[in-house]
Structure 1
């Protein structure tokens, strides 16, 4: 069944999070699309994949969509925890 995009909305400040060998990486979301398929509607994030734009959740290792600020805070917290563990081991 084909997905039909009903509407596209801006997505400034949002990222798609991917798991790369146990580490999380983020890719900027280009837009959110209101998609209809099989009599169901849902909002899906879209990211640039080379020269094309595709659904983030269709790409390998997709984990979630998150606000960029929250992703950066999580990353900073993880780095601080790693530093504390290294100090405790020393």
Structure 2
């Protein structure tokens, strides 16, 4: 846990999803924004771009979830899903 986290800037994330592992299956959730976050830990300052997703009325960092895998463009995720379906049908 960091000593301090501050959101410096928020950018829209249209077309991007957070990919999660749900019982061995990959599922995607729309990212509402990317946040430029400044973290100060043990006196060391660092900046990262982090994805944020909405859960009901709360917007939180997607990468904090234990089952978070990666960030991906929605179109790429959908293509992978279509390829998986084709393999199952064959």
TM-score under structure 1 length normalisation: 0.90
Map of 1:20 onto structure 2 = 22
Distance 2:48 2:85 in 1: 35
Map of 2:73 onto structure 1 = 67
- The offset of 1:16, in angstroms, is 0.3
Matched, 1:51 2:57: yes
More helix by share: 1
Distance 2:89 2:4 in 1: 48
Structure label with greater radius of gyration: 1
In structure 1, stretches of 5+ residues that fail to align are: 85-90
Cα RMSD (Å) of the superposition?
A: 0.7
In structure 2, stretches of 5+ residues that fail to align are: none
- The offset of 1:2, in angstroms, is 2.1
Aligned structure 1 segments of 4 or more residues deviating by more than 2 angstroms: none
SS of residue in 1 equivalent to 2:17: strand
- The offset of 1:21, in angstroms, is 0.6
Map of 1:81 onto structure 2 = 87
